Structure 1
Amino acid sequence: MQTAQHIIRNYRRRRITLALSLAVLTFLATLGVRFLTIRSVNLQRVDEYGSYAVATMENLLSPHDELGLRVAPLVGKPCNAVQGELRQYVARARTLRAISLIKNGILYCSSVFGNRAVPVNMLEPTLPSRHASLQLSVDNSLLKGSPVLVKWTSVGDSGLDGAMQVINIALLTQLMSASEMPWVVRTALNVGDNHLVYGSNALGFPPPGTDDKETQFHSARQPFSISLIGPSASTLAVQRLPSQVPLALLLALLIGYMAWQASASRMSFSREITLGIARGEFEIWCQPLVHAQTHACTGVELLLRWNNPRQGWISPDIFIPLAEQENLIVPLTRYVIDRTIKHIDIFPASSDFHIGINVAADHFRNGLILNDLKRYWFACRPSQRLMLELTEREDLQHLDPQVFRQLRALGVRLAIDDFGTGRSSLAWLEMLKPDVLKIDKSFTAAIGTDSVNSRVISMIIELGQRLGITLVAEGVETALQEEYLRRQQVQILQGWLFARPMPPGEFPAWLERHQRLSTPGQTRV
């Protein structure tokens, strides 16, 4: 059997587990959502910055496309005739360092040096070329060793003539916005196989750090790309997660508290009892009562048993007090009355045979028991007589005697259960006038062993006889107790000496066997 403490601890443990589980899940889910949100923002910021960097570079280079077309007609003309015009173009362009004209692969005119005769491939190995191109290179003329962008505009079909613009890449990168921390640590311009990191004066591309990630954005209008190097979006999101812990913890505590409150009714013993009633998990057992002189079976007391499929067998000493605390004892009593009617045919159909049902004092308030009996018991017109048993441990003195008079008028007998252990006064007993006093088994057990309790049971017997109340002794287990009670003129006996509580289906066989073997003084089980 489960103990009350074990059952309550089990329900409390389940509530705590549920509340903690939901709190932990909420905490993790909040951090997970915040992680994904921050990661998405990081990706968006990198995309926005990359698109901005490419657009800025395209806008800075687009004037050089137009300039190449203007300079192309000057290729082949004498340098003295065009050098002034070339210098004017350079002066007007903020990012332009020099313009050179190439004829048959020879750089013959420069906006800076004037007439020259230098093979262009000595300055730029990939030139001349049939196609326009953009190259990231190193200046070999003015600021030697400094990075420059070389823009080639091809003239004619030979591929040996063209105009070459030397663009000041340092000034160009200064016109771009600086890297956007912490999403972007470094920005690099990629042209062909060469790279220039923003803020650097030398070509090259240092390897990214272990936690860094490179994201490239290609231009659709110019032959270059922008590389953004920085921590991955996930790494940055993880770094920011500690700042999200207070919010996650607050939501976790809120959800955990709400789960604890919500589960108070759904994960409680009261809900378990309600489920047990709805699913028919409770069983009624019966324990026979026999006449002390003839041993004839005069009735049965119905007892409630609960084989809970979730908790196992639960003792009535546990679930009855808990049902009383949760105000569920009245529904349980209705359940017993209803099940009794369904098994009524197994009991002798005689008005001399009574069926005892334990009823709580709350059931008598406002005449509630009258309504329930009319609905369940009297509607079926049973031949057996009903006896309602109230335990003396309850506060009976505040009940309305009028209810008891109405019950007695309907033929219902009233019994005080566990008499001698409670707080009934003689005046109240005289006013209530119960039909039966049931002597508590603790006094029966004291017969022959406890002189004090033996005297108490003698006083109870004498009281019942003076008031003209039928006496029932509970817990009779030995022949010595039976003999003593019979000599004291106790009318009805109940206990394991005659029969243990049994399922209703076993009662007819027991009754037949008992009637066949019944003789005064003989032990029966």
Structure 2
Amino acid sequence: MLMAQQFVGQFRRKRLLIALVIAAIVLILTLAFRFIEEKSRIEQRALNFADNAIMRFDRMFSPLDVSANNTLGLVGVSCSDVRFPLIEKIAASQTVRAILLVENDTIYCSSIYGPRDIPFSQNYPELAINNQRMMLSTDNFLLKGSPVLLLWTPKNIDNHSGILQVINIELMSNYLLEPQLPWVERAILNVNGDSLEYGNPLIEPTVPSEDEVSYNEASLRYPFSITLYGPSPTRLALATLPSQLPLALLLSLLMGYIVWLATANRMSLSWQISYGITANEFMVYCQPLINAKTGECDGIELLLRWHNARQGWIAPDVFIPLAERQNLIAPLTRFVLNQVVAHLPILPRCPSFHIAINVAASHFRNRAIVEDLQHLWWPANPVPKLVVELTERDALPVVDQSVISQLHEIGVRLAIDDFGTGHSSLSYLKDLKPDVLKIDKIFTAAIGTDAINATVTDMVISLAQRLNISLVAEGVETAEQAAYLRERGVDHLQGYYYARPMPLGDFPAWLEHHQSDIEA
């Protein structure tokens, strides 16, 4: 029973291990999912910021573009005639600092300074020669040193005439590019390779620091782009994980508990045994019973072996007690009966040959063993005698002892297995009237070594002989033990000295070899 409890403990430990592994996996996956989700959210917020900034700049440039196109008709008109309309346009706009008119590659009129005579291509080759529509520059006239954006609207394809708007880009960039911490720390407006960063009045190249990442989005309508610098989304997402830990831990514990409950059946021995029967994992072995007087084999005891595909070989001392506790011993007994019936054609067809099968006390309840024999054993018309060995792991209730008389009536002999080690008592001999007593191997092993147990062995032999009950000694492993038991009149011997348990199908070959050894 101790081994059975250890086996159950192994199942529980495996269940616990599986539950803990699943819980750990769920915890890791939950945190990983939240990390990826948070990282994606941070990246998306940065991109949304860039998209919104581009959309706002586009909205700012669009009316200026329309206004410039509507004003192209003023190009070529004398500066004194158009200056005040230009001033009115600037007054209506909060973003335009000045409007310059260009005619024949010359800036001839300024809304602020009036008539001018400035070469256009020489001062702004990017616009006049490189056909650019925008450029970042520095105001050298009104607010010297302040950044401005030049928006060029040509009148014709030669780029020598048109309207040049000077936009107060510093004011607009400080309004439209205000960073959103923590995911956007720096925002930059880029125009043709020049950059203007929020909060920095200088037009100069920008690069991210070592721990920053960059995002870049370009306008589809105007030749500018927005670059954002901010902390690594990975670092920001990792910083949020401690706040996600309680929920992830709760979810992992819940999943672990669900797995613990879900594996209660599948990871139980009852499920394993039931599955083992249907999957043909059980095998019926047999061990010969040797006549102590003649040395011939005149019977076998059927033994059940289990090779579990998941656990390997499981000893009978482990699964038999557990099967009895789980009320699964009866299906196993029926499995043994079916197997021996299938092998009857290869077994000796002799009335003196007997086949012993172990039956638990619980199988006697409600005449279950009798009904199973009537449905499985007797329809095969067996010639060998059947011996039912009553195992003593459970005490046989008095109410079920009436089944014993029914077994005797139908020609089944009764044996008490492992006599003296379980619940058996002298009252068993009186109430059950067994035909056979089996001496447990612990008493056989004591022969020649343990005086006390050897004395008990002699007392059991003497008692059985006085009650005219046949004796079978289990666990005979040496010639000394066999001689000792033979001298004291034990009827049958069983043990490794004669043969180890073997598959039932191998028994005919062993029997033939044994008979030839006796005859020789």
TM-score (norm. length: structure 2): 0.87
**Contact 2:98/2:167 (CA < 8 Å) preserved in 1?**
yes
**Contact 1:418/1:438 (CA < 8 Å) preserved in 2?**
yes
Change (3 A) 1:68 1:376: same
The Cα of 1:170 is off from its aligned counterpart by 2.3
After TM superposition, list the pairs within 5 Å mapping 1:254-403 onto structure 2: 254-308=254-308, 311-398=311-398, 400-403=400-403
Change (3 A) 1:279 1:165: closer
Which residue pairs with 2:440 in the alignment? 440
The Cα of 1:294 is off from its aligned counterpart by 4.3
Greater shift in the superposed pair: 28-37 or 480-489: 480-489
Which residue pairs with 1:216 in the alignment? 216
Give unmatched runs, 5+ long, in structure 1: none
Change (3 A) 1:398 1:432: same
Letter in 2 for 1:504: L
Instruction: Tell me how many residue pairs correspond in the alignment.
Output: 518
**Contact 1:354/1:386 (CA < 8 Å) preserved in 2?**
yes
Change (3 A) 1:382 1:115: same
**Contact 2:362/2:396 (CA < 8 Å) preserved in 1?**
no
Moved over 6 A (4+): 3-6, 129-132
Greater shift in the superposed pair: 14-23 or 375-384: 14-23
The Cα of 1:148 is off from its aligned counterpart by 0.9
**Contact 1:393/1:421 (CA < 8 Å) preserved in 2?**
no
Change (3 A) 1:467 1:130: closer
The Cα of 1:484 is off from its aligned counterpart by 5.1
Matched residues in 2 for 1:427 and 1:130: separation?
118
Which residue pairs with 1:73 in the alignment? 73
Matched residues in 2 for 1:385 and 1:111: separation?
127
Is 1:162 the counterpart of 2:153? The answer is: no
Change (3 A) 1:98 1:373: same
After TM superposition, list the pairs within 5 Å mapping 1:23-38 onto structure 2: 23-38=23-38
Matched residues in 2 for 1:244 and 1:322: separation?
44
Change (3 A) 1:454 1:70: closer
Change (3 A) 1:385 1:98: same
The Cα of 1:429 is off from its aligned counterpart by 2.7
Which residue pairs with 1:191 in the alignment? 191
Change (3 A) 1:259 1:298: same
Letter in 1 for 2:262: A
Which residue pairs with 2:467 in the alignment? 467
Give unmatched runs, 5+ long, in structure 2: none
SS at 1:302 equivalent: strand
Greater shift in the superposed pair: 358-367 or 441-450: 441-450
SS at 2:355 equivalent: strand
SS at 1:208 equivalent: coil
Matched residues in 2 for 1:54 and 1:119: separation?
32
Matched residues in 2 for 1:455 and 1:131: separation?
120
Give aligned-pair identity as a percent.
Answer: 49
How big is each residue's C-alpha offset from its partner over 1:383-421, in whole Å with a ceiling of 9 and x where there is no partner?
111110013343124451221122222111111111122
How big is each residue's C-alpha offset from its partner over 1:272-300, in whole Å with a ceiling of 9 and x where there is no partner?
44444333333333333344444454422
How big is each residue's C-alpha offset from its partner over 1:433-453, in whole Å with a ceiling of 9 and x where there is no partner?
222222223334444554433
Which residue pairs with 1:89 in the alignment? 89
Matched residues in 2 for 1:496 and 1:93: separation?
110
The Cα of 1:194 is off from its aligned counterpart by 1.9
Greater shift in the superposed pair: 168-177 or 488-497: 488-497
The Cα of 1:265 is off from its aligned counterpart by 3.4
Which residue pairs with 2:457 in the alignment? 457
**Contact 2:287/2:301 (CA < 8 Å) preserved in 1?**
yes
Matched residues in 2 for 1:70 and 1:304: separation?
102
The Cα of 1:41 is off from its aligned counterpart by 2.2
Greater shift in the superposed pair: 508-517 or 328-337: 508-517
The Cα of 1:113 is off from its aligned counterpart by 2.3
**Contact 1:130/1:159 (CA < 8 Å) preserved in 2?**
no
The Cα of 1:229 is off from its aligned counterpart by 2.5
Change (3 A) 1:120 1:468: same
The Cα of 1:382 is off from its aligned counterpart by 0.4
SS at 1:143 equivalent: coil
Which residue pairs with 2:52 in the alignment? 52
Matched residues in 2 for 1:289 and 1:160: separation?
121
SS at 1:199 equivalent: coil
The Cα of 1:264 is off from its aligned counterpart by 3.8
Change (3 A) 1:364 1:163: same
The Cα of 1:234 is off from its aligned counterpart by 4.4
**Contact 1:361/1:399 (CA < 8 Å) preserved in 2?**
no
Matched residues in 2 for 1:481 and 1:102: separation?
127
Q: How much is the aligned-residue C-alpha RMSD, in angstroms?
A: 3.3
Matched residues in 2 for 1:478 and 1:150: separation?
112
**Contact 1:355/1:384 (CA < 8 Å) preserved in 2?**
yes
The Cα of 1:511 is off from its aligned counterpart by 4.1
Which residue pairs with 2:144 in the alignment? 144
SS at 1:151 equivalent: strand
